[in-house]
Amino acid sequence: MDQRIIIANWKMNTGFSEALGLTKKIAQETKKLKNINIVLCPPFIWLYPLSKILKKLNSRIELGGQNVYFENKGNFTGEISPLMLKRICRYVIIGHSERRRFLAETDEMINKKFQAVLKNGLRPILCVGEFEKTEISENHLYGSVFQQLGRAIKGVTKENIKKAIIAYEPVWAIGTGKPATGKYAAEMIVSLRDRLSIIYNRKIAREIKILYGGSVDAGNILEFIRQPGIDGVLAGGASLKVKEFLKICEMVGKNNK
Ligand code: PGA
Segment among 36-50, 129-143, 164-178, 205-219 with least mean pLDDT = 129-143
CA 36 to chain centre: 14
Mean predicted confidence (pLDDT) in 193-205: 96
Rounded distance from Cα 127 to ligand 1 centre (Å): 11
Q: How much of the chain, in percent, has pLDDT values that exceed 90? A: 91
pLDDT band at 137 (very low <50, low <70, confident <90, very high): low
- Torsion sign, CA atoms 217, 221, 223, 228: positive
Burial class (CB in 10 A: 0-12, 13-18, 19+), 1: exposed
- Judged against a pLDDT cut of 90, whether residue 14 lies above it is answered with yes
Helix or strand run (H / E) with residue 149: helix 139-152
Q: How far is the CA of 194 from the centre of ligand 1 (A)?
A: 25
Is 96 noted as a catalytic residue in this protein? yes
Q: What mean pLDDT, rounded, does the chain reach? A: 95
Give the number of the atom of ligand 1 that is nearest the alpha carbon of residue 174: 5
Q: Kindly indicate the confidence band of residue 30, based on its pLDDT and cuts at 50, 70 and 90.
A: very high
Predicted confidence (pLDDT) at residue 180 exceeds the cutoff of 60: yes
Beta bridge partners of 166: 126, 210
Q: Which residue's CA is minimally distant from atom 2 of ligand 1?
A: 236
Q: Is the pLDDT of residue 2 over 90?
A: no
With 70 as the cut, is the pLDDT of residue 138 above it? no
Pocket test for ligand 1, best of 97, 216, 241 (most atoms within 8 A of CB): 216
Instruction: Respond yes or no: is residue 71 known to be catalytic.
Output: no
- Does 131 score more than 90 pLDDT? no
Catalytic residue among 62, 105, 130, 169: 169
Pocket of ligand 1 (CB under 6 A): 9, 169, 174-175, 213-216, 234-238
End-to-end CA distance of the chain: 8
Residue 68 scores a pLDDT above 80 = yes
* Residue 133 binned pLDDT confidence (cut-offs 50, 70, 90): confident
